[in-house]
Amino acid sequence: MAKKVTCKQCDEKKPTCTNCRQHAVICDYATESTAPSRPSRGQYRFRQSKYEIQIDPSTPDTTSIQSSSPGPTPPPPLESISLADLHLFHHYVTTMASTLTDGQDPKHLWDVHVPQWGFVFPSILHLILALSALHLAHQHPALRAQYQNQADAHFTFGVRSVTTVLASLNEDNCQYIYISAVLICFVYFAHGPRTGEFLVFSETGQAEWLVLMRGVRSILESRRAEIFSGVLAPEELEGAAEVSDELAEELERHKGRIRDVQLLIRAETDDEVIKEMYDSALEGLQETFDEVYRMRAAGKHGVNLMHLVIGWLYRRPEGFIGRLEAKDPLALTVLAYWAILLKYMQSSWLMKGWDEHVLAGIRASLPEQHRSRIGWPIECIFGNRQPVIAELS
């Protein structure tokens, strides 16, 4: 069974809880205070250790690139850090950050600004260290358990610290909270597929990732203009790359199969509202395939497709998502064709195995008489192999 991403509860031991003592951070529980919208320096500092890095606060750092932080408060100096966490931070900045953009980050969002924001907003720092630990686990399978334990500890603290300020979402901290939510989603993908969880539906209860996506949506809906400003402002789109004849033929095969599903659903659905909902989903899916193939033609794969592929799910109304959660055969059939797009993200370590896992879960959840309808996605992703849900460790 894959390890489930969960938050570890504080045991409230005094003067320092067990989690904080093991993780070598100053315990929030030790002091009674109300969390401000922007965490203060005193809320997050590492315990003194023999690996302490002494920084003279009166000496300016002239070598760093200035961050376009959402608020006016400059990042406080890092007083001390454990050797293990310093290793994770170094790996994130020098190696891991570039994997979030396939090396294409002209604004230096992930390798400069986000780490600097982490010194102001503790959740961000914990979450990038969690992500860094999972990347090291991916690179060094023999040390996987060790790095996953580090990732779980940082994830727990990251989620806990952002949860305390969610109620205080404002124009000063909304970018920090949004980036924290995005990082939480990245950590979920980086942990890899987990038994019984298929992104938007689950074998039992509500899907974990769906809860995360709804959280991101809620944050965006309340502060979209403020979030997508400054360094997070959308970049102007470059001229569309010309899709080769080979890719164009492949794209048309996909869209033709999607249109077949559209006709099938129209024939089987009498309710005009439901019919319109599926029409909208399938029309939007064809448009997403168009955009993905333009990106592929421009040589962009993997994580560069994240906003397009996940964007289709994000835009689906609650009525459609509810049918997926209920494992409605028509909704699952539509999702199977969306899962094809996950195949084109496999060059990113974050997305390894998700295409097969989601599609196998869809097939297992469909009644036998409906499985023939997803023959095309199965052929695209599994080829001649039998689509079975893999045993996850």
Q: What is the pLDDT of residue 63?
A: 35
How far apart CA 189 and CA 151 sit, in angstroms, is 13
Q: What is the separation of C-alpha 142 from the centre of its chain, rounded to a whole number of angstroms?
A: 25
CB 2 within 8 A of CB 195: yes
Residue for token digits 């309808």?
373
CA distances from 276 to 256, 261, 262, 271, 286 (A): 19, 14, 10, 9, 15
DSSP 28: G
Residue for token digits 């074998």?
203
CA distances from 27 to 49, 54, 342 (A): 16, 22, 40
Q: Which residues contact 184 (CB under 8 A, 6 or more apart)?
A: 127, 155, 158, 159, 162, 212, 215
Q: What is the separation of C-alpha 230 from the centre of its chain, rounded to a whole number of angstroms?
A: 22
Backbone angles phi, psi at 202, to 5 degrees: -140, 160
DSSP 98: G
Closest to 116 (Cα-Cα) out of 165, 79, 160, 64 = 64
Dihedral over Cα of 39, 41, 42, 46: its sign: positive
CB 206 within 8 A of CB 214: no
Structure tokens at 169: 């979402």
Closest to 265 (Cα-Cα) out of 209, 317, 328, 208 = 328
Burial classification of residue 108, based on how many CB atoms lie within 10 Å of its CB (0-12 exposed, 13-18 middle, 19 or more buried): middle
Q: Calculate the CA dihedral of residues 160, 164, 170, 175 and round it to 10 degrees.
A: -10
Whether the bond into 15 is cis, omega within 30 of 0: yes
Q: What is the pLDDT of residue 21?
A: 55
In 10 A of CB 63, how many CB atoms? 5
How far apart CA 177 and CA 183 sit, in angstroms, is 10
How far apart CA 124 and CA 178 sit, in angstroms, is 10
Structure tokens at 256: 């033709």
CA distances from 43 to 24, 32, 52, 177 (A): 14, 11, 18, 16
DSSP 8: P
In 10 A of CB 78, how many CB atoms? 15
Structure tokens at 170: 């404002």
User: How many CA atoms within 13 Å lie on the side-chain side of 361?
Assistant: 25
Q: Which residues contact 250 (CB under 8 A, 6 or more apart)?
A: 293
CB 78 within 8 A of CB 48: no
Angle 204-207-208 (CA atoms, 0-180°, nearest 5)?
120
* pLDDT per residue rounded down to tens, the chain (393 residues): 444 444 455 666 655 666 655 554 556 555 444 444 444 444 444 444 333 333 344 434 433 334 444 543 433 344 567 899 999 999 999 999 999 987 678 889 999 999 999 999 999 999 999 999 999 999 999 999 999 999 999 999 999 888 888 889 999 999 999 999 999 999 999 999 999 999 999 988 788 888 888 888 889 888 999 999 999 998 765 656 788 999 999 999 999 999 999 999 999 999 999 999 999 999 999 999 999 999 999 888 898 899 999 999 999 999 999 999 999 999 999 999 999 999 999 999 999 999 999 999 999 999 999 999 999 999 999 998 877 776 554
